[in-house]
Amino acid sequence: MRKALEFQGVHKSFGQNSALVDAFFSAHWGEVHALLGENGAGKSTLMNIASGLYAPDKGLVKISDKPVIIDGPQAANDFGVGMIHQHFKLVENMTVLENIVLAHGQGGWRKSLQRVRKQISDISNEIGFDIDPDAQVNTLSVSEQQRTEIIKVLIGGAKILILDEPTAVLTDEESTGLLDQLQIFAEQGKCIILITHKLREVFSHANRVTVMRGGKTIDSGQSPKNLTPEKLSKLMVGEPTEISRISYSPPKETVLELNGIFSKRDNGHTALDNFNLKLNAGQVYGLAGVGGNGQTELAEILMGVRSMNSGEFILSGTPLTNPSPSRVRALGLTCVPAERYIYGLAGDLSVMDNCVITHLKSGQFGTFFWTNRRAINKETKQAIIDSEIHGAEPSTRARLLSGGNAQKLVLARELAGSATVLLAHSPTRGLDVRACTAVHEALRKSASNGTAVLLLSEDLDEIFAISDQIGVINNGRLVGEFNSPADRSKIGHLMVSHH
Amino acid sequence: MISISLNFIRRRRLTIEVRQRISLGLHVSILLGALFFGIGVCIAILLGRGVELSSIYEEFIVFTFFDSAGISSVIVESIPLVLVGLAAAVAFRVNFWNIGIEGQMFMGAIGASVVALFDIGPEILRLPIMFIFAAIFGIFWASGPAILKVRLNVNEVISTLLLNYIAYYFVLNQLFGPWKDPRDKFPHGEQYDIAERLPAIGWEQVHYGVAVAAFSFIVVWWIIERSRFGISSRFVGVNPKMALAVGLPVSTIVAGSAMASGSIAGAAGFVIAAATEYRLTFTMAAGYGFSGIVIAFLAGNRPITTVIVAFLMGSLFVAGESMKVFYSLPDALVGLIQAIIVLSVTASEFFVRYRLRLASFGDT
């Protein structure tokens, strides 16, 4: 087999941070090559070099054994490299057809439309994707958008397909379908590079695997057949991870109650459909579910930034109808949001400001007319030490913190004082193992202090690691509830089966 | 399989990268570098017009900064600039794009003129009353767009901009009509009495407007940098979604900041009417609104830097004026010089955000 894409001695740094250090990689024609690693291991950076988005500081890129310079996405396309990014590169308010013409149109717009329309239907038939070329992108589901991206790179003539965590947004069934399709592409002679951090996918669908850690290539080009999951995960994280199990403890008083909540998405589809939930003080309630089944809307309703269409929302014994965020907070609900830099932190402001913003009203940091900078500074320094927020000074801009440390900062703020309910939405998304553990410990600790923790997560490992009680949300409904320790396969089935 | 083939290549080129962080020293050097670049271009233009290097140096440096008359006129020129700069900064930092500073200045001047015209209050308190009326009229003029913005999400750029014209034509209406100067029948207001004029402090032509500017600066600095309102408003400006989610009173902060902006603009109108023009005129606000925007932008919406930038802008105006008088340079050239310097400093923002770096390809 000939080599399709090869990297030798690639370096890339952003400011002071080295993303890639002497990384090497090689993938052959006709194979599915998994690129495995934790978040921040350098997988996406390496592949962004192949797709022309980044220029390497140093190093050699070869395609079909010939050294090349990929100095832009257009050049990547000319070399037959097509990448499907984690965040799709589609114009939301344009149709599928227009998006593809935008990327690969030639000559006049009208002529291109005709030609590409035919290409779309040819390729759709060939690979069995059913996609309406005239559908507007923002009306498509996530997996349809992904198919649009795949068709786009195929029309662009891609022979090396790079997919960045393609299954992160898909259900199990959709994932299997996609991975099977990728294997077919490989059998046709294409080179498929699958960036992932899921071991299961490596064993089920990859011909060979390269493992990266901390910007370096740890292991290159082995067949998964020669590896065990334990060996591979050790290569990936460098240290064994252990998962503790929580035993069920009897409930205390109910602090949050949701009865028959209905809510519609912005596009009119039902997000929450007669959703019920009861949360008790001192417990961690893990609400498991594949992303996009109503978790975001639920979190937003609890935070007070989205109004529900009907239903009962009782917090600390107080019935609420579409309360404001300040009302919800006054009743003791705090929140670790999914999108850290949207609802959790102001990236351009200092750690100090971010650390105390929700506590200014309490009066411990001076009066309305004169805030006590010294008290704020002292409190922040204490929080940095207590929560082990590395690389932070009170005056550091919050954006400069790494993901894990930024999340620790949010947690430190939201857990300061006495929260009745803590809403944690995907609190460890994008964090490394060590930061995950720290976040989990913080959540457990706050539960043992009497806070009711509601954990919304797509990650079953996380749910199982820290929950007293586990619920499953599917299609906007609570479809099952279990006390820990629960049957994992049963929960997994409820998450993905059709309701 | 791949149609394009390249032999072994070694190539270097410049790439642009986003800076993760920037040290204060580098930031200042970039700004100074841009300033010197702009000044260099201006010097080249002036030399081309036949002005000698020594006289450029004397006008811009010696007679502007090291001469009692020069520095005092810079201060006088800077007073309204500080006020409009603060007015813009206060609104901009919560993303309220107040384009209506000129209209609010007119309203402030009208408020002051009402007091002067109808002799409201005892003479000893006349000036403070004029100041308060000017601020209230400015608030009044900003409150419409502010409320429309937070209640109905009406774009404040349009509403404040259009209210400028309404204020302007209202002033014209008054000056050509009921408030026409009874003495010379010219379309400007009746001259203020002595008690209604801001007195000189006793150094060159510097007047007590300097106290108004200093007072405004201190209040703004205190609110923005030290009060709870200021910290909260930072969040509203940087991340409004988060500000709302953590329970900050976003609407109140936006509307409050917009009205504070209006009050400072009103105060600027008062200072010009009571210290420079001694009456209401229809040319008094010309251009100040846009100067305010530029000053606030260059100053990053911070009170201290706003004062510094306003001062530098004032000196640019003063130096420009004397170039006009002594070297009979056309008005347009003076404007050009000011624009080149402002543009250079503005463009230097690029180097603050990005770094240029030499990267090599095909290099093992």
This complex has an ipTM of 0.79
Q: CA triplet A325, A430, A139: central angle to 5 degrees?
A: 65
Q: Return mean pLDDT, chain A.
A: 86
- How many angstroms separate the CA atoms of A121 and A125, rounded? 6
Kindly determine whether residue A346 and residue B20, on different chains, have CB atoms separated by under 8 Å: no
CB A119, CB A112: distance < 8 Å: no
- How many angstroms separate the CA atoms of A294 and B190, rounded? 68
Of residues B113 and B56, more confidence is placed in: B113
- The CA-atom distances, in angstroms, between B265 and each of A66, A150, A247, B216 are 66, 56, 65, 10
Dump pLDDT digits (tens) for B192-247: 988 899 888 888 888 999 999 999 999 999 999 999 999 999 999 999 999 999 98
Q: Which residues of B175-199 are buried (b: 16+ CB within 10 A; e: fewer)?
A: beeebbeeeeeebbbbbbeeebbbe
pLDDT at res. A222: 86
Kindly determine whether residue B234 and residue A343, on different chains, have CB atoms separated by under 8 Å: no
* Nearest Cα to Cα of residue A57 among B12, B55, B144: B12
* Nearest Cα to Cα of residue B127 among B210, B187, B29, B197: B197
Supply the CATH classification number for the domain A3-237.
Answer: 3.40.50.300
Instruction: Locate B161 and state its tokens.
Output: 């901009």
Region of residue A385 (left: phi > 0; alpha: psi -120 to 50; beta: else): alpha
- How many angstroms separate the CA atoms of A69 and A50, rounded? 9
Helix (H) or strand (E) run with residue A214 in it: none
Query: Residues with Cβ < 8 Å from B29, sequence gap 6 or more?
Result: none
Query: Residues with Cβ < 8 Å from A438, sequence gap 6 or more?
Result: A387, A388, A404, A408
* Torsion sign (Cα): B119, B122, B126, B131: negative
- How many angstroms separate the CA atoms of A357 and A147, rounded? 43
CB nearest to A349's CB, from B17, B18, B238: B238
pLDDT at res. B107: 97
CB B73, CB B81: distance < 8 Å: no
Of the options 1.10.3470.10, 3.40.50.140, 3.40.50.1860, 3.90.1150.10, the CATH number for the domain spanning B79-315: 1.10.3470.10
Mean predicted confidence (pLDDT) in A148-161: 91
List CB contacts (< 8 A) between B361 and chain A.
Answer: 55-56, 61, 69, 71
List CB contacts (< 8 A) between B16 and chain A.
Answer: none
User: Mutate which of B16, B227, B238, B239 to disrupt the A interface (most A C-beta within 10 Å)?
Assistant: B239
- How many angstroms separate the CA atoms of A433 and A439, rounded? 10
Tell me whether the omega of the peptide bond preceding residue B128 falls within 30 degrees of 0, making it cis.
Answer: no
pLDDT at res. A15: 66
- How many angstroms separate the CA atoms of A289 and A453, rounded? 17
Of residues A435 and A313, more confidence is placed in: A313
Instruction: Locate A10 and state its tokens.
Output: 């690639």
Residues of chain A with CATH 3.40.50.300: 3-237, 254-496
Kindly determine whether residue B359 and residue A349, on different chains, have CB atoms separated by under 8 Å: no
Residue B3 has pLDDT above 50, yes or no: no
Give the distance from residue B24's alpha carbon to the nearest chain A alpha carbon, in angstroms. Answer: 13
pLDDT grade for B362, boundaries at 50, 70 and 90: very low
pLDDT grade for A160, boundaries at 50, 70 and 90: very high
Helix (H) or strand (E) run with residue A303 in it: helix A295-303
List CB contacts (< 8 A) between A380 and chain B.
Answer: none
pLDDT at res. B273: 94
pLDDT grade for A249, boundaries at 50, 70 and 90: low
Kindly determine whether residue A368 and residue B15, on different chains, have CB atoms separated by under 8 Å: no
CB nearest to B227's CB, from A16, A346, A368: A368
CB A262, CB A309: distance < 8 Å: yes
Q: DSSP per residue over A30-82, as a string?
A: T-EEEEE--TTSSHHHHHHHHTTSS--SEEEEEETTEEE---SHHHHHHTTEE
Supply the CATH classification number for the domain A254-496.
Answer: 3.40.50.300
What one-letter code names the amino acid at A401? L
- How many angstroms separate the CA atoms of A462 and A198, rounded? 14
CB nearest to A305's CB, from B20, B235, B245: B245
Interstrand relation of A333-336 and A421-425 (parallel, antiparallel or unpaired): parallel
| 3-class SS of residue B297 | helix
Instruction: Say yes or no: B10 contacts chain A, CB-CB below 8 A.
Output: no
Dump pLDDT digits (tens) for A11-44: 998 766 678 999 999 999 999 999 988 766 888 8
Kindly determine whether residue B364 and residue A347, on different chains, have CB atoms separated by under 8 Å: no
Give the distance from residue A249's alpha carbon to the nearest chain B alpha carbon, in angstroms. Answer: 32
Count Cβ atoms within 10 A of the Cβ of residue A130 and give its class: 0-12 exposed, 13-18 middle, 19 or more buried: exposed
User: Mutate which of B234, B246, B252, B363 to disrupt the A interface (most A C-beta within 10 Å)?
Assistant: B246
Residue of B nearest to A325 (CA): B247
Kindly determine whether residue A67 and residue B7, on different chains, have CB atoms separated by under 8 Å: yes
- How many angstroms separate the CA atoms of A20 and A23, rounded? 6
φ, ψ of residue A191 to 5 degrees: the values are -110, 120
List CB contacts (< 8 A) between B228 and chain A.
Answer: 360, 366-369, 371
CB nearest to A325's CB, from B5, B247, B361: B247
* Nearest Cα to Cα of residue A383 among A414, A357, A409: A409
- How many angstroms separate the CA atoms of B98 and B145, rounded? 9
Residue A265 has pLDDT above 80, yes or no: no
What one-letter code names the amino acid at A85? H
pLDDT at res. A1: 61
Dump pLDDT digits (tens) for B285-326: 888 998 999 899 888 899 999 999 999 889 888 888 888 888
pLDDT at res. A242: 46
CB nearest to A79's CB, from B4, B8, B362: B4
List CB contacts (< 8 A) between A56 and chain B.
Answer: 359, 361
| 3-class SS of residue B8 | coil
Residue B280 has pLDDT above 80, yes or no: yes
Mean predicted confidence (pLDDT) in A408-414: 90
For the full predicted model, state whether its pTM sits above 0.90.
Answer: no
Kindly determine whether residue B247 and residue A304, on different chains, have CB atoms separated by under 8 Å: yes
pLDDT grade for B363, boundaries at 50, 70 and 90: very low
Kindly determine whether residue B6 and residue A347, on different chains, have CB atoms separated by under 8 Å: no
Kindly determine whether residue B246 and residue A370, on different chains, have CB atoms separated by under 8 Å: no
User: Mutate which of B1, B221, B234 to disrupt the A interface (most A C-beta within 10 Å)?
Assistant: B1
Kindly determine whether residue B242 and residue A325, on different chains, have CB atoms separated by under 8 Å: no
| 3-class SS of residue A495 | helix
* Nearest Cα to Cα of residue A286 among A491, A468, A494, A493: A468
Q: CA triplet A265, A270, A275: central angle to 5 degrees?
A: 110
List CB contacts (< 8 A) between B11 and chain A.
Answer: 69
List CB contacts (< 8 A) between B2 and chain A.
Answer: 63-64, 66, 79-80, 159
CB A172, CB A496: distance < 8 Å: yes
- How many angstroms separate the CA atoms of A285 and A299, rounded? 14
